[in-house]
Structure 1
Amino acid sequence: MEYILQPWPWYVSGPLLAMIMFTLIYFGKTFGMSSNLRTFCAIAGAGRKTAFFDFDWKSQKWNLVVVLGAVIGGFIAHFLLSNPVDIDLNPVTVESLSQLGFENAGKSLLPAELFSWDAAFSLKGLSTLIIGGFLVGFGTRYAGGCTSGHAITGLSNLQLPSLIAVVGFFLGGLIMIHLLFPLIFG
């Protein structure tokens, strides 16, 4: 009998995440991925050019472990824990994606129309990456953090700005998928 891998259930992953957050709060640390980019820029010497990057990056070494863990975890998840079965998408969603040019909607978690080298190096792909990267970077800086930082750390600390940011992230996602996505891929 073949064992089919499944995602961790909420009652395992939720308490693990809560324990990590409790530990970070206890030690006065905050979780977020975007702060690591600032740390990488400071390590590379950007502090000589811009005051924003002129800080003691060594105090953030612990947070670089988060990046390493994300890379290792992504590798393990993809190569060891992936379940190659079809994704159970709503037939209406499959039809909508098919109309936008996605040939195998629901057959892969990462559709080739978005996540392939051919797609990335096309004019549309490069434009999407550059404009999207700029908007994500601007939004992260403007909001004072990324989705993981606000949604996990900020909300667990009951911070109103994080609640406002998370609502904004969700609204932005809805606008993107319902208004802009059809324009880009239609």
Structure 2
Amino acid sequence: MHYILNPWPWYVSGPLIALVMAFLLYFGKTFGMSSNLKTLCTIAGAGKFADFFNFKWKDQVWNLTVVLGAIIGGFVAVQFLSNNSGTDLNPATITELQNMGFKNPGATLVPNEMYDIDVLASPKALIILVIGGLLVGFGTRYAAGCTSGHAILGLSSLQKPSLIAVIGFFIGGLIMANFILPLIF
């Protein structure tokens, strides 16, 4: 059952995020999705193969609620908070995307040409997926955290390395969107 609702406005979701960050800072906890992957790999026994995964994973089990929350939150958002509207794109962006081969830019939240399950049948898409995954994994490890950890927790706790990382994320995003994506499509 789908209910037609608009996304939460910034003045509701923003303070809620700030409240969660205040609680995390107060209790001395960190936040980020990449730390959950490290915890899951450690639970699975990766410490037998790499010292990086040798740590007390039971101290980080609380952080796995972030993964559970993302899964449940995604389900709730799609099933109950989605109004099935597309993405409101600038006409110039629509033209650029159509020139790259995207058929209906903005008609869906994410383009089917990149995120549809049928795309995985393409060797080109698989290569892009593998290379992209390796780059994200390397970047996350090199930056000592992911975009959510640095941009939400790191910036809210005024950490200079997080500011540098977030600037790097934006520069990388601009390079990808303006130079690499047109070469791929």
* TM-score normalized by the length of structure 1: 0.95
Q: Are the counterparts in 1 of residues 4 and 80 from structure 2 also a CA contact under 8 Å? A: no
- Answer yes or no: is the 8 Å Cα contact 1:114–1:120 preserved in 2: no
One-letter amino acid of the counterpart of residue 6, structure 1: N
**1:145 maps to what in 2?**
145
1:31-180 maps to which residues of 2 (within 5 A)? Answer: 31-180=31-180
Residues 1-55 of structure 1: CA deviation (Å, up to 9, x unaligned): xx74111111111111111001000100011100000000000001111111011
> Which residue does 1:22 correspond to in 2?
22
Larger deviation: 131-140 or 8-17?
8-17
- Greater relative contact order (CA < 8 Å, ≥ 6 in sequence): 2
One-letter code of the match for 1:93? T
* SS of equivalent to 1:104: coil
* Alpha-carbon displacement from aligned partner over 1:116-154 (angstroms, at most 9, x marks no partner): 122122111101110000000000000000001001111
Cα distance in 1 for partners of 2:86, 2:49 equals 49
Give the deviation of 1:104 after TM superposition: 0.9
Q: Distance in 1 between matches of 2:126 and 2:7?
A: 32
Normalising by structure 2, we get a TM-score of: 0.96
Q: Percent identity?
A: 64
Structure 1: gaps (5+ residues)? none
